Structures are given as structure tokens and as C-alpha cells.
Amino acid sequence: MRADRPRPAEGADRDRLVITPSPSPATATLAIVTTHLDQIRTGYDFTGPALDLGATVLDGQTHADVPVRVPLSSLNRHGLVAGATGTGKTKTLQLMAEQLASQGVPVFLADIKGDLSGMASPGEGNDKISGRAEEVGQDWQAKGFATEFLSLGGLGKGVPVRASVTSFGPTLLSKVLGLNDTQESSLGLVFHYADKNGLALLDLKDLREVITYLVSDEGKAELKGLGGLSKATAGVILRNLIAFEDQGADVFFGEPELDTAYLLRTTPDGAGLVTCLELPAVQDRPQLFSTFLMWMLADLFHDLPEVGDLDKPKLVFFFDEAHLLFDDASKPFMDAIEQTVRLIRSKGVGVFFVTQSPKDVPGDVLAQLGNRVQHALRAFTPDDAKALRAAVSTYPHTDYDLEELLTQLGTGEAVVTVLSEDGAPTPVAWTKMRAPESLMSPSPESVVDAAVESSALAGKYGEAVDRESAYELLRARLEQAPTPQEQPAPPSTQAPPPADPPSPRPEKDEPGIVEQVVQSSAFRSALRSAGTVIGREITRSLFGTSRRRR
């Protein structure tokens, strides 16, 4: 309250004070709201192209004139989409994928539940969608998008995709098999031996055959100078491989191997192609599909050139159920993930991790994710409450009470902060998300079948190829080894005939079985078909994946 002593009028009481009333509480609240809205409006006012996520919400009121957006140029800075089950994460993916494709950016989606196949079909309008569109200022129009459907090994809808065991590498395979550090190190030694000797590991039976050979009487000397491979460790690896195959996982490994450059395609009219990896048929093998996605990222990382910051990314990769990748991961594995995520940005690739809570992502990886879309979190247990407080602590300062707000968000609402065009974090904004324009449920089977049949990849990847590799080469050589019937007969009791003079000792011992295989014409032919060179070791990456192009 302010008191002034104005000049008194003539004849007036010179000692009387004139009181100026303070603003009413309603006026003060309006001023605070206006200031907050102005901060958000300014923070999300970008000059370049951007994705429209939705409209700002303040005190429960939606402000369509204050849009929340994310710059296209900052999407290679990676991001996180998090929230409890049923809060709208999948629709957020769909919304972002639609706008990326419309602006010429290819998109890769891991479709765990089968919901995202709706990208290929126009949406179906209703009163709820119309109401949401009007509330957030969206001109909603039903639209379908060019979508390529892939499936792991042909299980489920989609063009079958595979990776060779050699390319997959020992680190990712150890994660899939649940090996400990010692067993992972031994598996790496097996890969090293196969690489050095040109033994192509195309499928799981190739790997089994090499492991079996290296602990056999004929092959155990091959690793003597490298520490050897114990029968106990080999037995654990072989048992895990057999159990893995019994689950049907053998169909994922082999040839033809997916060339990840196909993920970067656009349509003839310049729109980005949406690649949807259908995974419902392998939900019970979470480590397999999560590591397969990491193999894709590692392969892209090695093949793409450095481009720095672009006006728009070359590809945006949505990594669904991301917690499966980090569960029980070893320290070297985590370090490799962190390094890949940090460095792939300069290749023009953006990665969004999708999971239920930020705590599912390790801190060193979370620190690389500059764009955050956080749907509602639950706080039903003490652990939930602790995770909620940890999530709140990662956001910039805001006037929102985030600890309360994150537990009260409705479906299709999120707390958003992204990186602006100059790399600074934008103000935290409670956002009512836009509605996707494609179908928010699975596409009809006829639509998916038509897309698969017309795919340019169907002819190349539709049928598996089992060419000559380590299994066939080692088996063929073993079959040529002398059989017991061909061995010399035991000496008789009769006096032997006079012996011929002994022949001179050869200067060099006869080659071992693997050396003979490597020198065989059949083996050289197989190497030519694989584009490899005898004696040249494969260069491996952060994850131990093969860097030799197919």
C-alpha cells in the first residue's frame, strides 16, 4: 500500500492523506498468468520450421494462441518421451512422426504393440477429435502416410529383416544371451578367431560350430596363444544358444542382411518414408528386439558421414520400450550406448527414447536428451515418489508445481521442454497435445498386406539365403578326415618286412584342420562371394559390430 501527501486544496484539511488502493487479487493473478504466457510464447517462437506439439495450458485453461513447438533443426539433439501406461506416449510418437514425414524427414518406429501401423491409414474423425482440434487451434484433416512395414525374421506382418551373426557382434549377442563378463570376453575371443581366419558367421549354427571346434581336440590349440576357451564357458554359451534357438530366435540371424541405408528413403513427392518395424510377435523376447534396434543405430553410425548440424535431420529414430535395452547392462555396454548416442548426432540422426519413467534411462544417456515430452507419472509407492522427485529435478526452473502437476496430467497432456534453435532450453510448458491425423488404431490387415506386397524391399529380403559359411566348411573338412576303418591295421605278431629307408623329415608340419579349410578352393570361393579377404581381420565398432559393408 502506498501513501502520498498531495498538495491540499485551498481550505482543505492540510493533514488529510489520500490513499491509492492496491491491485485486487484477481488483477495480480491475471498479471502473473500473462507474464507466464508471454515467457512461453517467446520461448517457443522459432524462425525456422518446427513440429507443432500442442497448446499451452495454464491454471487448467488451454491457450490456443500460445503454441508449443520443437524446432526441426534441434531434433538431432535427441529426446525422451516418457509417461505411465495409458497416458498418450504412443499418440505423441505418431503425432511427431506424421509431421516429420510431412517435412521430408524419414522416420523409424519400433511398433511393440502393433498400434503404429495406423500411420498408413487416414484417421477417423469424431466429436472428441474435433473438440481437441478446436481447443488447441489445430486444422485437423484425416491423412495417411507412406509406410514401410518390416518384421524380425518374418515373424508377423512385414518384409523379413535379418542380421548376420558376424555383423551383430559379440557385445550385443552377449546382452541377448544374458552372459556374464567372463563369458562375454570368451565370446569375443571366438569372434576374433573367426574374423581373423575368414570364417563367416552368418547364422547361429555357424557360431555353434566354431565354438565346438575350438574346444575339440583338433581346435583347442588354435587359441592357445590367446588364453584359450574353457569347456565350461563354451558349454554355458552353447546351452544359451540352444535355448535361444528353441525360442525361434534363429530366424533373426542370417542373410540377406538388412542394409540400414534403406531407412533413409523419401517418397517421390519429397515426403519422408515411415519405416515401421512390427514387433508384436516377439514381445516375449524383449532383449532381442532392443539389441536389434541398437544394432541398427550402430550400423547407421558407422556408415553415415559427418555432417554437423543440419536444418533438418536425415532420420529420426524412435526407440520404444527403451528400458529393455538398459536392464542388466554391463558397464562397457552402457559406455557404448552413451558414446553412440552422443556421436550419432553429428551424423544427422536424432534418437528419441520412449519409456515409462526418466529413471529407466541411465543418467549419462539422459544427459544427452535435450528434448523432453513427459506425460503423467504415478506416485503410488515410495519408489514412485522418489522417481517423481528425481524427474522434477531434471527440468529447468518453472512457475509450475511440477511434482503435483505430473501426477495430475490428463491423457494426451504432457510437460514439455525442448532445445531452441540456439541450443538453449525452452520454458517448461504444460501442453495439451494435438491429435494425430492418421488412424489411432492398427491399420486393416488388407492395408498392411498391400504395403508389404508392393514394397521395393520384398524381392531383396523376402527369402532367406543360406550360403556356404563356417558351419558347412568345418563340417566338410571333418567329414574328409580319416575314418577309423581307414586307419592303419594294428601290428601283427609276425616279423615285419624290412622297412624302407626313412624319408627325410618335412621342413614344415602338415597344416592343421582350420588352416587346410582356409586354403581350400571352396573356402576361397565363399570368401569371394562374401566380399572378404583371407587373413584380414574384420574391424569392429563400439558394440563389436562388423564395420565391413555388405
Dist CA 215 CA 227 (whole Å): 12
Q: Both 291 and 410 in a single domain?
A: yes
Residue 85 DSSP SS3: coil
Q: Name the CA dihedral angle for 528, 530, 536, 540, rounded to a multiple of 10 degrees.
A: 170
Dihedrals phi, psi of 468, to nearest 5 degrees: -65, 130
Cis peptide preceding 305, ω within 30 of 0: no
| Domain, as residue range, for 285 | 50-162+258-443
Q: Return the percentage of the chain with pLDDT > 90, whole number.
A: 51
Other C-beta atoms lying within 10 Å of the C-beta of residue 450: 13
Same domain for 124 and 202?
Answer: no
Q: Are 290 and 254 in contact (CB under 8 A)?
A: no
Q: What angle do CA 47, 52, 54 make, to 5 degrees?
A: 130
Closest C-alpha to 399, from 54, 1, 39:
39
- Of the residues 443, 459, 492, the one at which a domain ends: 443
- The burial of 332, by beta-carbon neighbours within 10 Å (0-12 exposed, 13-18 middle, 19 or more buried), is given as middle
Residue 265 maps to a domain: yes
Of 97-106, 210-219, 503-512, which range is least confident? 503-512
Residues 276 and 211 in one domain: no
Query: What integer pLDDT is reported at residue 509 of this predicted model?
Result: 40
Residue 81, domain CATH:
3.40.50.300
- DSSP element (H, E) containing 318: strand 315-319
Query: Would 311 be classed as within a structural domain?
Result: yes
Query: pLDDT by residue (tens digit) across 360-395?
Result: 999 899 999 999 999 999 888 888 888 888 888 888
Quick check: 421 and 42 in contact, CB under 8 A?
no
Exposed e or buried b per residue across 219-253, where buried means at least 16 C-beta atoms within 10 angstroms of its C-beta: bbebbeeeebbeeebbebbbebbeebbeeebebbb
CA distance 360 to 324: 9
Q: What does the CA dihedral 420, 421, 423, 427 come to, rounded to 10 degrees?
A: -10
Query: Does 361 map to a domain?
Result: yes
Average pLDDT over residues 486-491: 50
Mark whether 296 and 358 lie in a shared domain. Answer: yes
Contact between 144 and 440 under an 8 Å Cβ cutoff? The reply is no
Contacts of 363 (CB under 8 A, 6+ apart): none
Mean pLDDT within 391-420: 92
Alpha-carbon span 103 to 271, nearest angstrom: 6
pLDDT for the residue numbered 270? 95
Is residue 45 domain-resident?
no
224 assigned to some structural domain: yes
Specify whether 156 is located in the same domain as 181.
no
Q: Does the pLDDT value for residue 33 go beyond 90?
A: no
In one-letter notation, the amino acid at residue 464 is A
Q: 461 in a domain, yes or no?
A: no
The three grid cell numbers given for residue 541, joined into one nine-digit string? 565398432
Confidence class of residue 485 from pLDDT cuts 50, 70 and 90?
A: low
CB 295 within 8 A of CB 545: yes
Q: Which range (229-238, 277-286, 533-542) has the least confidence? A: 533-542
Q: Is residue 116 scored above 80 in pLDDT?
A: yes
Exposure on the CB side of residue 313, measured as CA atoms within 13 A: 30
Cα-based distances in Å from 452 to 114, 154, 256, 263, 527? 15, 11, 17, 15, 33
Interval 389-399: pLDDT, tens = 888 888 888 88
- One domain, residues 283 and 429: yes
The total of structural domains in the chain comes to 2
Mean pLDDT value across the chain: 83
Least trusted range by pLDDT, from 16-30, 35-49, 259-273: 16-30
Q: Is the pLDDT of residue 507 over 80?
A: no
pLDDT band at 247 (very low <50, low <70, confident <90, very high): confident
- Taking the C-alpha atoms of residue 250 and residue 246, their distance in angstroms, rounded to an integer, is 8
* Strand ranges across the sheet with 349-355: 61-71, 50-58, 429-433, 413-417, 371-374, 79-82, 349-355, 315-319, 107-111, 274-278, 147-152, 159-161
Return the DSSP state at 399: S
Mean pLDDT of 244-253: 84
246 and 305 part of one domain: no
Average of pLDDT values for 433-450?
95
Task: Assign 3-class secondary structure to 3-71.
Answer: EECCCCCCCCCCCCCEEECCCCHHHHHHHHHHHHHHHHHHHCCCCCCEEEEEEEEECCEEEEEEEEEEE
Q: Which of 414-418, 482-486, 491-495 has the highest mean pLDDT?
A: 414-418
Query: Is 180 within a domain?
Result: yes
d(CA 51, CA 366): 22
Residues 238 and 109 in one domain: no
Give 76's pLDDT tier (boundaries 50, 70, 90). very high
Query: What distances in angstroms separate CA 313 from CA 102, 256, 290, 299, 534, one per listed residue?
Result: 13, 28, 23, 17, 39
Answer yes or no: do 211 and 112 share one domain.
Answer: no
Q: Are residues 374 and 408 in the same domain?
A: yes
Q: Contact at 8 Å (CB) between 550 and 531?
A: yes
One domain for residues 278 and 423 = yes
| H/E element, 430 | strand 429-433
Which is higher by pLDDT, 540 or 146? 146
If asked whether residues 409 and 262 sit together in one domain, one would say yes
pLDDT given at position 178: 87
- The residue with cell 552422443 is 342
Quickly tell me which residue has 558351419 as its cell. 471
Which residue in the block uniquely carries the three cell numbers 519400433?
Answer: 110
